[in-house]
Amino acid sequence: VDMERQRSNVLRMELLGAKVRPVTTGQRTLKDAINAALRDWISSVRTTHYLLGSAVGPHPFPSIVAEFQSVIGREIAVQSRAAFGRLPDLAVACVGGGSNAIGTFHPLRRTDVEFLGVEAGGSRHHGAGAASLAHGRPGILHGAYSYVLQDREGQISETESISAGLDYAGVGPEHAWLKDSGRARYIAVHDDDALRAFHWLAEDEGILPALEPSHALFAAVAEARRRPARQKIVVTLSGRGDKDLEVVGRAASR
């Protein structure tokens, strides 16, 4: 499923020499790809190095990803001081597994900057979408204890989102701590609202955001409308929308 939704990214990887294997189990989304990668790694650990781009999975992978992605928050601090002389009042970032958001929040966690993480609410008739922080409960997924979408027996629930990168039933454990400590707020944005934000930015600024940060953009605009004009809000655009044009086109034709 995700190879279809991310076809242009798959093609780029193959052109650079990668062998991309499709997952044929489960919903065939991020959770199932991680399952397959971990199984392969465990069976070939002497010759294989496991790499993970999201802030999920067993230690130390969430910490490694948070450290590398922290370049986002550090650049926000430098560029905000250059642009308006201080740190922003609010930082907004999308949250699937949570790498983009933790890279935004982690370097700023000891400042007064407010944090807003935005999860995928899916379609309005699905229920939880892929919003594990908004609708999940504590559990273990891929070797990490965090918030997980699960049924009463603890089995992982199916997820739904127009965005492949947010379509995950869990979230990185540092986000669970930020939620429980009250340091960050987390909300869910539905597919149709993310699409609205995608079109806003495309039409007004000529920028095609990926569908993942389009969720954050919608939430940032909503926050801006209810806050004083003097406040500064930063929203991270964590990807290009080229990869999502087919998905956006299909949604527009429905």
pLDDT single digits (tens) 82-98: 999 999 999 999 999 99
Q: Are 210 and 244 in contact (CB under 8 A)?
A: yes
CA separation for the pair 226, 187 (Å, rounded):
16
Give the pLDDT score at 195: 98
CA separation for the pair 149, 133 (Å, rounded):
8
Per-residue tokens: 168: 């995950």
Residue with token string 């406040």 = 231
**Mean pLDDT of the residues in the chain:** 95
Rounded average pLDDT over 115-133: 93
pLDDT single digits (tens) 228-247: 999 999 999 998 899 999 99
For residue 79, what are the contacts with CB-CB under 8 A and spacing of at least 6?
none
Domains observed in the chain? 2-53 (no CATH), 63-253 (3.40.50.1100)
Give the pLDDT score at 41: 93
**Which stretch of 29-38, 65-74, 90-99 has the lowest confidence by average pLDDT?**
29-38
pTM for this predicted structure? 0.93
- 3 has pLDDT over 90: no
For residue 181, what are the contacts with CB-CB under 8 A and spacing of at least 6?
none
Give the pLDDT score at 227: 98
Rounded average pLDDT over 197-218: 98
30 — pLDDT class (breaks 50, 70, 90):
confident
